[in-house]
Chains A and B, each alone.
Chain A
Amino acid sequence: MQDVLEIRIHGRGGQGVVTAAELLSVAAFREGRFAQAFPSFGSERMGAPVVSFCRVDDHAIRLREPVNHPDVVVVQDPTLLGSTDVFAGVADDGWILVNSSRDFAALGLGDWVKRFRPGRARCLPATELAREHLGRPLPGPALLGGLAGLTGLVRLESLAAAIRERFSTAVGDGNVAAATAAFQLARTEPAPC
């Protein structure tokens, strides 16, 4: 893995897009790395498309421009796929993680994801996992679990600690359970493309 890793998270206002970037940065920080999380500079309101960013590096981070060439793109809301160019700037050796219980073919992206290396583009049913383990359709922590499983960027334990640091006991437990389930799915299931 290269020194600097840049992650871009797309979702809608109210889905915890900014919180997800923060949690990821806390998890990386707990592993002794430098991390920077920040929201995009667009209009943020309930339901509107929202973008957040996270940089993880072995050195102090000076750069403060938005992430235009992400190594990882996380899509929290698949309804954005038709209206926003969520994958803009992502390289062929990057990772793609989409919150969907369907596969890329069903999302109309079957041919498109073939440009990525095997196992680097995944759909995970994060909303369903959040409903099951948390009781609420908030997919952020589950997707981060999936991200950890897919990329190895952070360990699951660091992510779990970051989640528990942020949320109260019951909500923390539910989110950690959802993240763990997504982590295992990402690790065990073959890529569906």
Chain B
Amino acid sequence: MLRQLECSRAIAEAVARCRPEVVCAYPITPQTHIVEALAELVREGALAPCEYINVESETSALSVALGASAAGARAYTATASQGLLHMAEVVYNVAGLGLPVVMTLGNRAVGAPINIWNDHSDAMALKDAGWIQLFARDSQEAVDLHVLAFRLAEELSIPVMVCVDGFVLTHSVEPLDVPAQALVDRFLPPYHPVQVLDTADPVSIGAMVGTDAFTEVRYLAHHKQLQALDRIPVLAAELAGLLGRSSGALLHPYRAEDAETLVVAMGSVTGTIEVAIDELRAAGVAAGAVALCAFRPFPLAALADALGRAQRVIVVERNLAPGLGGALASNVRMALRGRPIPVHTVIAGLGGRPITRAGLRRVVETAAKDELEDLHFLDLDVGAVERELARWGEQRRSGPSAENILRDAWRTR
């Protein structure tokens, strides 16, 4: 049943219907509404049996989830930005131990300068920690991916991070369906752990491992990710059959088959890209798009197929790898190895700067004329950058850049 809901509220209700037995969280914008709503659902008894544990930091939040999962409980938490970095050590531990924790990441920029708005810097910082990372293209997929995430996590005994663009999705109010309890119960069986801390049958989890086993344990982590490449499409098809809509996939192509220029992106920019593609098509430009849902595991083969007959690829990414370009574009190039077509990196939407269809159309049109640079910063205020570079050149103590650029902006306004 469709209801007009804030995405965060709908995510909380979907998580509750997955029957987590332990929820622990430390609030951080823009994830706060999700864990607040879950706290309410536990207090009201709508989510029971479940222990909601308030903790004093993100490191504790994920540590509690780790312990709960190792003790055989279905465990959930959520975080964002600096919160993810705060818990970074535990992020690796949960994956290394193979514990099927599900965590929502309300994607947010990482400071400094401090910024509470959306980009993918947080997810990219921990992309190789061993978690599966799924990116929601819209609010409905953000809701449904959580149901898929618990099933996938527990089948393979691997943690799953559901990446939901902060504010753009988390704070959007729109018609959403929370999967019915009966459907979730059919899709998601009770949790049967492959390892459990049990006083009746004691084991040690997390032992020191030297040269004799470390490589093999790491190899198995990679093996699980490859298994997920096979399981994600199967589980997504099963979920689609139950819900009557397509949510979750390795990737979502859009008008891609005959496209000469293909835009590759992840997350909430997908809808705006699709509108821009429709406008470009109407103007006679053969453009298409591929939205990646799975970033880890990275669907090399599926992406190579989806890129079809494209003559050029534009990767629009909400993340900057300073000194290189972008993490997503680097991965896309890996899928295209052996094919001599240009792959452009477009850094866009950092720190919440809106990505508009006008900006996207301009990028595609420029690329179609073979005039787009390898690395392009969408809507970069070149004047502001040049003025700050001039200050650097003029004096040693040029001062803090963020404050200088802000002062500039206010002066010109």
B117 touches A63 (CB 8 A): no
User: Judging by beta carbons under 8 Å apart, are B274 and A62 in contact?
Assistant: yes
Q: Is the CB of A3 closer than 8 A to any CB of chain B? A: no
Report yes or no: B174 in contact with A37, Cβ–Cβ below 8 A.
yes
| Contact across chains for B4 and A41 when beta carbons are under 8 A apart | no
| A66 CB contact (under 8 Å) in B117, B118, B354 | B354
Chain B residues positioned under 8 Å from A37 (CB to CB): 172-174
Given contacts A39-B167, A41-B167, A41-B354, contact A63 B272 (CB under 8 A): yes
Q: List 19 A-B contacts (CB under 8 A).
A: A25-B4, A25-B174, A29-B175, A35-B4, A35-B175, A36-B174, A38-B167, A39-B167, A41-B118, A41-B352, A41-B353, A62-B270, A62-B271, A62-B274, A63-B272, A64-B272, A65-B272, A65-B355, A66-B354
The smallest beta-carbon distance between A126 and chain B, in angstroms, is: 22
User: Taking CB as reference atom, which chain A residue is nearest B267?
Assistant: A64
Give the total of A residues in contact with B, Cβ under 8 Å.
21
A39 to B7, CA, bound (A): 13
Residues of A within 8 A of B171 (CB): 18, 38-39
**Contact of B174 with A64 in the complex, beta carbons under 8 Å:** no
Instruction: Identify which of A21, A34, A37, A38 gathers the most chain B CB atoms within 10 Å of its CB.
Output: A38
Chain B residues near A91 (CB, 8 Å)? Answer: none
Inter-chain CA distance A109–B6, complex, in Å, is 36
The complex places the Cα of A34 from the Cα of B6 at a distance, in Å, of: 14
Q: Output the least CB separation between B114 and chain A (Å).
A: 11
Instruction: Report chain A residues within 8 Å CB of B138.
Output: 62
* CB <8 Å contact, B173 and A25: yes
Which residues from 1 to 42 on chain A have a C-beta closer than 8 Å to any C-beta of chain B? 18, 21-22, 25-26, 29-30, 34-39, 41
Is A68 interfacial (CB-CB < 8 Å)? Answer: yes
Kindly state whether residue B356 has any CB partner on chain A within 8 Å: yes
CA A18 – CA B4 in complex, angstroms?
15
Which chain B residues lie closer than 8 Å to A65 at the CB level? Answer: 272, 354-357
Output the nearest chain A residue to B139 by Cβ-Cβ distance. Answer: A36
Query: Given A29-B4, A62-B271, is A68 in contact with B356 using a C-beta cutoff of 8 Å?
Result: yes
In the complex, whether A48 has a CB less than 8 A from a CB of chain B is: no
Contact A63/B352 with A35-B4, A37-B172 known, Cβ cut-off 8 Å: no
The 9 closest A-B pairs by CB, nearest first: A62-B271, A29-B4, A41-B352, A37-B173, A65-B356, A38-B172, A26-B4, A36-B174, A22-B173
- Tell whether B94 is near chain A: CB-to-CB under 8 Å: no
Expressed in whole angstroms, the Cα–Cα distance for A41 and B268 within the complex equals 14
Q: A21-B173, A35-B173, A65-B355 are in contact. List 18 more A-B contacts (CB 8 A).
A: A22-B6, A25-B173, A26-B4, A29-B2, A35-B4, A37-B174, A38-B168, A39-B171, A41-B118, A41-B168, A61-B174, A62-B270, A63-B357, A64-B172, A64-B268, A64-B272, A65-B354, A65-B356
Q: Which residues of B contact A (CB under 8 A)?
A: 2, 4, 6, 117-118, 138, 167-168, 171-175, 268-272, 274-275, 352-357
Q: How far is the CA of A64 from the CA of B271 in the complex (A)?
A: 7
Chain B nearest CB from A125 CB (Å) reads 28
Q: How far in angstroms is the closest Cβ of chain A from B403?
A: 15
Within residues 59 to 76 of chain A, which ones have a CB less than 8 A from any CB in chain B? 61-66, 68
Q: Mark A59-103, 1 if CB is under 8 A from B, else 0.
A: 001111110100000000000000000000000000000000000
Residues of A within 8 A of B353 (CB): 41
Whole-angstrom distance between the Cβ of B237 and the nearest chain A Cβ: 22
CA distance A116 to B198 in the complex (A): 73
**Nearest CB on A from B252, distance (A):** 12
Tell me the minimal C-beta distance from A17 to chain B in angstroms.
Answer: 13
| A44 CB → nearest B CB, Å | 9
Given the complex of chains A and B, what is the CA–CA distance between A36 and B168 in angstroms?
Answer: 11
B113 to chain A, nearest CB (A): 12
**How far apart sit A49 and B355, CA to CA, in the bound complex (Å)?**
22
Which residues of chain B are within 8 angstroms of A63 by Cβ–Cβ distance?
A: 271-272, 275, 357
Task: Look across to chain B and name the residue whose beta carbon is closest to the beta carbon of A65.
Answer: B356
Roughly how many angstroms separate A29 CA and B2 CA in the complex, as a whole number?
9
Contacts of A64 in B (CB 8 A): 168, 172, 268-269, 271-272
Q: How many Å lie between the Cα of A155 and that of B6 in the bound state?
A: 22
Q: How far is the CA of A65 from the CA of B359 in the complex (A)?
A: 11
**CA of A39 to CA of B357, assembled, Å:** 19
* Shortest Cβ distance from A19 into B: residue: B173
A66 and chain B: residue at smallest CB distance: B354
> What separation, in Å, do the CA atoms of A190 and B174 have in the docked complex?
35
Using Cβ atoms and an 8 Å threshold, which residues of chain B touch A68? 356
B2 proximity list for chain A (CB < 8 A): 29
Closest to B352 in A: A41
- Contacts A64-B271, A65-B357 given; indicate if A41 touches B172 (C-beta within 8 A): no
